[in-house]
Amino acid sequence: MKKYSSLKSILAMGLALNIVACASLEKAILHSDVGKQAVSQTVYKYINNFNSRYAILDLQQLSQKDPNPDEDIFLFIHGWGGSTKELFEEEKNEPESKLSIMKDVYHGRVLLADYPPNGGIKKIFSGIEEQFDNFISAYQKNNGKSPKFKIMGHSLGTQFTRLFDLKYSGYISNAGLIAGVNNGIYFGILDGFIGDRLPENFDRILSKKNQPHTKEDYEIAVDLLSGSPFFKELNKKTETPLPIEYNFYTFVSKNDSFFIPGEDDGTVALSSARPKQLIDEGHFEWVRIGDDIIFEGDVNHLSINNPWIFRTILESFNSNKSTYSYTLPDESKATHYFIPECSPLEKKIREKQKQLMNNPEFLELLN
């Protein structure tokens, strides 16, 4: 009996030490430069995008008169903190931008979804959905038939893509998920602890901007960072297969990022960006799978800004597949591309991130 009691004590002590060690590690990371940057950049983007809008931008006015109504329309949904404004500025300043590649691959048949990063998840989706419904109504009225879409999202945009797939499956043929947050939203080791730092950061920056801040501000940001219950409800197998081809595109980086250190896709955990376990266990909609491509090397969460990578993704997404699967293969059997060096555009973006670190307002948040 004594031996059994001693064994239990040793096991309990080991477990307690392990929990303390993990908690200490997470807290240490949270209060490190990486952790501080994660919280502060989130607040900085949240606060500085109050004037963003909900929109579906119809680049060729297809809803008014579509010259090729039998062709799919490509709808792209950017990630959190992004905007369509960035795409237009990029096209104006770069020889080959994401927008110009979209127009080229899809012959100009491109829609862009825009949304602000400071709304709640449900509010964001309902805002985009309202604009999507308006487009469909106008298209049907002016073209005498319903449009057909291929929808692609990056990061947070992948979850909105999945919501559209479930609600509008009759209109959609293909879904592309780039670096998806398929566990809801999940920023790895910072999850849970990051919410503790948000209120003081909000207080600091909002008091300087003389803008009202509410309990809802905190709740929205924590919801984004720690996993939205609204999104987690998505992870259920549908009763029958969706008539939509799913394509997965993932970045595997060994570099630290603003949000999580270590080997991942640069922001979200690899297990979330490439949800093999969710699909295998039936915690994901029942879909047929086309492409499964993993980019490795000098990449991170924002490597869709690499023109070669983005064109490779779009061209594969637009191609006709000969075979499908209802499971994601093991990682080793996916298509792998090694990227030895980031593109000039990515270098510019990384330089902008460094400049952000020299912004006095942002630096004050880190102190």
Task: Supply the CATH number for residue 338's domain.
Answer: 3.40.50.1820
For the chain, the first-to-last Cα distance in angstroms comes to 54
pLDDT for the residue numbered 195 = 57
Q: Is 360 exposed, middle or buried (0-12, 13-18, 19+ CB in 10 A)?
A: exposed
On whether both 19 and 130 belong to a single domain, the answer is no
How many angstroms separate the CA atoms of 178 and 251, rounded?
8
Q: Look-up: residue for tokens 């799919």?
A: 72
On whether both 104 and 126 belong to a single domain, the answer is yes
By DSSP bridging, strand 149-154 and strand 288-297 are: unpaired
Number of structural domains the chain divides into: 2
pLDDT for the residue numbered 16 = 34
On whether both 176 and 260 belong to a single domain, the answer is yes
What is residue 96's DSSP assignment? S
On whether both 59 and 1 belong to a single domain, the answer is no
pLDDT for the residue numbered 231 = 85
On whether both 151 and 173 belong to a single domain, the answer is yes
pLDDT for the residue numbered 4 = 36
Q: What is the CA radius of gyration of the chain?
A: 22
On whether both 355 and 288 belong to a single domain, the answer is yes
Question: Which structural domain, as residue segments, surrounds residue 2?
Answer: 1-30
On whether both 215 and 273 belong to a single domain, the answer is yes
pLDDT for the residue numbered 289 = 95
Alpha-carbon distance values, 104 to 75, 194, 288 (Å): 14, 41, 27
Please report, in tens digits, the pLDDT of each residue of the chain (367 residues total): 433 333 333 333 333 333 333 445 455 555 666 666 666 666 676 666 655 689 999 999 999 999 999 999 999 999 988 889 999 999 999 999 999 999 999 999 999 999 987 777 888 899 999 999 999 999 999 999 999 999 999 999 999 999 999 999 999 999 999 999 888 776 555 555 555 666 666 666 666 566 666 777 767 767 766 677 888 888 899 999 999 999 999 998 766 555 555 566 767 778 888 999 999 999 999 999 999 999 999 998 889 999 999 999 999 999 988 788 899 999 999 999 999 998 888 888 878 877 877 777 667 666 6
On whether both 43 and 18 belong to a single domain, the answer is no
On whether both 19 and 121 belong to a single domain, the answer is no
Identify which of 314, 102, 72, 239 has the alpha carbon closest to the alpha carbon of residue 172: 72
pLDDT for the residue numbered 50 = 56
pLDDT for the residue numbered 20 = 36
On whether both 81 and 224 belong to a single domain, the answer is yes
Instruction: Please name the helix (run of DSSP H) or strand (run of DSSP E) that holds residue 248, with its range, or none.
Output: strand 245-252
Tokens describing residue 127: 């805002």
pTM, two decimal places = 0.85
On whether both 24 and 46 belong to a single domain, the answer is no
Alpha-carbon distance values, 215 to 115, 219, 221 (Å): 21, 6, 10
On whether both 62 and 192 belong to a single domain, the answer is yes
pLDDT for the residue numbered 230 = 83
